[in-house]
Structure 1
């Protein structure tokens, strides 16, 4: 119980990332074709236009990995105060968000890029707290 109170901010941020990335991964798995079609339009006339399925599977795998690491890290943080797995999840989440930011910038979707930046701020803060 001490770890729950001592690490409340970290746990809330981990839960934020778990919800964000697991839900996003599930959406991609449940509506793969819809996502591919939408993203092909989104990346039309960019260097990513012919890479959409490969990039989407890369994002999906990274989202699942980040979500699972954050989930395991949350349990480890509660159980024994261990931060290593949570840190790995948070760092992977930062890398994922940077990947998504790059895609939005290349697609010239500046509003989408701004949204990614909003997610990036608490994720970097989590990395800071877990150090």
Structure 2
């Protein structure tokens, strides 16, 4: 635990599922020395796909990034935790929210929300056309 309190520290969500954990490496940096936003976006897309996979029961694709907010930079060595929850299930699409928390290398045990996003995925058939999501 850090000796100086982090003003951005917050608890991890309890109403969402932990779907991915990853540590960014130096090769993932941008010219400023922070983790490249595109790398974070790719990880969010992977994390966001976990819950739709359970519902789609077959092929699906990212159809929209409805919102993407970078709240704080991600640093090399951060332990990133990706939490997700289903916001809406339609006839062919599923919208999910993903929140990303960083546990900084220098302040283990403290978490800071660094990114949040809302993405929509659509179930597709073998030809890439939308198909109905199976009802449970």
Q: Which of the pair is proportionally richer in helix?
A: 1
Measured against the shorter chain, the TM-score band is: under 0.3
Q: Which of the pair is proportionally richer in strand?
A: 2
TM normalised by structure 1 equals: 0.26
